[in-house]
Amino acid sequence: MKPYPERYFVCSENSLISYELIHMADSAEWNKAVTYADFVKNARENIELMKARYDDFQFNESDLETLGSIQNDIKILVIGTERCNDTAGNLPILAKMANASPKIQLRILDSDSNVDFHQQFKVNGKRKTPVVLFLSKDHEELCRWVERSNAAYKIINVGTVESVEERRAALKKLYSDPEIQRQSLNEFLRLLLRADFILGRK
């Protein structure tokens, strides 16, 4: 296994935490995962939310410059489900990134059907979705992002929402906010660049 340096991921406590890298010794999970187009096609929930976010989101010139500068092939594997509003809110941004750069491949692995694999990425003992893994072409984990942006965490707090339905409604409204979408993109781009540097960006 290539001795990559220690990495970190954005976590639910709004801080950076070190973690043990997961090496996908074979391509089983990647091969089971589906493209964004197939994910949306087969989804039963949040379909309109994902389509609207994808259609509405726009890159600025700096975003496109960053995406165009990626030198190494990077795979992004998202573990999640369309029932999860965080997954539905962030996936369209990742899909746009993949479409804007020939160096990025995006796949989505259903978290409900792959519980054992998902268990490896717990945060504070709990499974979170989505888990966004930035991988090398050989499926070596480079960086990790979990659940939602730090900006979103500051707004959505479990203790301030009285019911599950209220929380779902709040999340749907949150992911309609261009600033929240922008914060997610900024975090994704930072990790994408970090992954590129780990792989030997010149």
- Looking at the structure of the chain, the number of domains it has is 1
Judge whether 2 lies within some domain.
no
**Domain carrying residue 128:** 8-198
Q: Does residue 182 lie within any of the structural domains?
A: yes
pTM beyond 0.75: yes
Kindly state whether residue 150 falls inside one of the protein's structural domains. Answer: yes
Q: Is residue 1 part of a domain?
A: no
For residue 3, being part of any structural domain is answered with no
Q: What is the pLDDT of residues 87-130, one digit of tens each?
A: 999 999 999 999 999 999 999 999 999 999 999 988 888 999 99
Q: Can you give the pLDDT at residue 53?
A: 92
Q: What pLDDT digit, counting tens, does each position of 168-188 carry?
A: 777 778 888 999 999 999 999
% of the chain residues with pLDDT over 70 = 83
Beginning with the edge strand found earlier in the chain, give each strand of the sheet holding 141-146 in spatial order: 16-18, 8-10, 141-146, 131-135, 74-80, 104-110
CA distance 180 to 186: 10
What pLDDT sits at residue 20?
Answer: 53
pLDDT, residue 51, reads 95
For residue 25, the domain's CATH number is 3.40.30.10
